[in-house]
Every structure is written in C-alpha cells, then in structure tokens.
Amino acid sequence: MKHLLKMMDLSTEEIIEILNLADQLKYELKHGIPHDHLKGKTLGMIFRKASTRTRVSFETGMYQLGGNPLYLSASDMQIGRGEPIQDTARVLSRYIDGIMIRTFDQAEVENLAEYGNIPIINGLTDLSHPCQVLADLMTIREYKGKLDGLKMCYIGDGNNMANSLIVGGLKTGMSVSVACPENYHPAATTLAFAKKYDCFELTDDPIKAAKDADVIFTDVWASMGQEGEAEIRKKAFKGFQINDEVMAVAKPDAMVQHCLPAHREEEITAKVFEEHANEIFDEAENRLHAQKAVMVLLMGNKD
C-alpha cells in the first residue's frame, strides 16, 4: 500500500491489516503506551472542504504519533489561485512526508499520487470516503466480533459513503444491501464492482434492504456542496429514513452507524439516533485510530 486513494484500491488483506493496527494503537493510547512511530515526520493537510472530524482526528493523530500536522487551507495556497495540482504535488513532496487532502474531485487525489513521491491519503472526495469506512468497519468489528458473514444495510443517497461502504463491506465478507431513490444510485464503477458479488442488493425499498441487517448506515440527504438541492432532495428521499419501522425488520441487536453530522428527523429519527448514540460516537472516535493506522503504514514503521 503506497497511498489511500479509495476503498477499491485496498485488498481484503490490507483492510484487515489496517484494522488490526488500529485496534493495537487504540489499546496503546487507552493504556498510556507511547507509539511515536512518526517522530520527525510532517503531514500536510489540504482542505478544500470544511471539516470537524477529519481535521481534528488527523491533527490529533499526528501529535499522538510524534509527528507534525500542517493545516493547509486551499484558499491560502497557490492551488486556490490556479496552480496545477501536479505542481503542488511536486513541490510539497520536497518539504513534507505525506499529504491528506479533503476535496471535491477524486482526480485531484489521483493526480497528487501520480505526480508526487510521498504517500497521499484521501480525507474525502465526492466519490470516496475511505478513512470513514475504515473507522466504520473497525466499529462493527468491535461490537460484533467479526465482519465476515454479517449483513450491512445502507439507506439514503448513493454518495461517497455508499460507494465506499459497498466496496469495504463486500471485500471483508459482508453481504450488502443498499436502498436509494432511483435517480440517486451509487457510482457506476461501484455498481460494476458490486455486481460481481451474489451478496449485493440494490433496491428502492428501505424495508427490504434492512431486513435481517446486522448494521444499518445512513448519511445526510444533501452533502457539502449540494445545499442548493436540499429541497429537491427532501422530496426525493422521503421515506428513506432510519426509523422504528426500519429497525423492526433488522436483527434485534442491529447497530446503527452515521458518519455525522446528522440531520435528525430527515435521514434518521432523533429517537433511533439517541438509542444508538454510543455506537455512532464510538464510530466517530474510531476515525482517530483508523487514520493513525493508515498514517503509520504509509509514512512510518509500526515495528
């Protein structure tokens, strides 16, 4: 593994390696065991999209690993004034040891990897959100003790979360059922990958998708950059909500996961959210541990 650009690039073995190391680093942190694997290393963090969890978890993670996080707002950099991303990649490769970028276009992440010579981490694009899904898989495994053989259900927009969850779930042996409105399906590349698996289902019926699920996911109906579509999307996504009716057909011990921020009474009811708040905020915490594992594997030495 040279970069983390999207879930599709990771093998099953690499996903499990990341999760195992994340578990180890979480244990060490909770027990006060130092793990300064990135001492003297610097991570540049480029943000074209605002962030709470991504910025804080990467910054904190680098400090805990003994390294230096460097916040780089795109508006303060030359890429914000038209410098090609490939030039930014070649310049930053001479200064720092890795780049995390949170942006809109997946091509920017891919170009950083192509033209730079340091590890690139996708902190989020419109296509993919691999760091979040690694944290999701880590959380499911903590609660359920395994991934293989479980059923994952996703209800909502076929966005970056849906794309990454489908790939991550299938690669780790889960069956995956996705409920989206007809015009809001996951990316064609994701569906082409998923159709190779007998244990994948795409439907427009949330109840059908949630039947016997071990874990149910959702995300906001209008992601960052789609605020102008909010009212149209509210109409399109009516009924695509995690609520008591959906939970009633899932397994009695089904988990609920949400990448946050959550819009209560839209994609999830306040009642269901609060009933599963511990799982959801454990999921948020695990962004820290999963990303630390990625950074160590890409930029340092875990031994």
Torsion of CA 23, 26, 27, 29, to 10 degrees: 160
Specify which residues 47 forms β-bridges with: 73, 102
- Is residue 79 scored above 80 in pLDDT? yes
Cα angle at 280 between 275 and 281, to 5 degrees? 110
145 and 88 belong to one structural domain: no
> Does the pLDDT at position 61 exceed 70?
yes
Active-site pick, 48, 129, 276, 289: 129
- pLDDT number for residue 227: 75
pLDDT of residue 303: 52
Amino acid at 132: Q
Same domain, 109 and 152: no
Task: Say whether 127 counts as a known binding-site residue.
Answer: no
pLDDT digits (tens, 9 = 90+) for 118-167: 999 999 999 999 999 999 999 999 999 999 999 999 999 999 999 999 99
Q: 138 among the known binding-site residues?
A: no
Can you tell me the distance from the alpha carbon of 44 to that of 98, in angstroms, rounded to the nearest whole number? 6
Q: Are residues 249 and 236 in the same domain?
A: yes
Domains: count for the chain:
2
Per residue in 204-243, pLDDT tens?
999 999 999 999 999 999 776 777 787 899 999 999 999 9
Q: What is the mean pLDDT of residues 88-109?
A: 97
Average pLDDT, integer, range 1-20 = 98
Catalytic, 264? Answer no
Structural domain of residue 58, as residue ranges?
A: 1-127+286-297
Candidates 259, 276, 289, 291; catalytic one: 259
In the residue annotation, 35 being an active-site residue is answered as no
* 287 annotated active-site: yes
Q: What is d(CA 237, CA 250) in angstroms, rounded to the nearest whole number?
A: 20
Q: Kindly report which listed range (63-67, 77-81, 236-240) carries the lowest average pLDDT score.
A: 77-81
Claim to verify: residue 256 and residue 278 sit in the same structural domain = yes
Tell the residue number behind the tokens 């990448």, with chain if given. Answer: 259
CATH number of the structural domain spanning residue 247: 3.40.50.1370
| 148 assigned to active site | no
| This model's pTM is above 0.85 | yes
111 is in an annotated binding site: no
pLDDT of residue 2: 97
What does the mean pLDDT of the chain come to?
96
Closest Cα partner for 108 from 74, 62, 71? 74
The pLDDT, as a whole number, for residue 74 is 86
Q: Which of 249, 227, 231, 240 is nearest to 268 (CA)?
A: 240
Same domain? 119 vs 137: no
Report whether 78 belongs to an annotated binding site.
yes
Phi/psi at 256 (nearest 5 deg)? -125, 135
Q: What's residue 301's pLDDT?
A: 67
Same domain flag for 156 and 206:
yes
Pairing of strands 215-218, 120-124: unpaired
Are residues 245 and 111 located together in one domain of the fold? no
**Given 48, 219, 257, 276, which residue is catalytic?**
219
Catalytic residue among 64, 106, 132, 257: 132
Statement to judge: residues 117 and 179 lie in one domain: no
Residues 5 and 98 in one domain: yes
What's the Rg (C-alpha) of the chain? 19
Binding site annotation covers 259?
A: yes
* Least confidently predicted of 53-67, 71-85, 135-149, 259-273: 71-85
Predicted local confidence at residue 302, as pLDDT:
54
Q: Does 260 appear as a known binding residue?
A: yes
Share of residues in the chain with pLDDT > 90 (%): 92
CA atoms within 13 A on the CB side of 93: 16
- The answer to whether residue 182 scores a pLDDT higher than 80 is yes
- The reply to whether 129 sits in an annotated binding site is yes
Q: State whether 49 and 169 are in the same domain.
A: no
144 occurs within a structural domain: yes
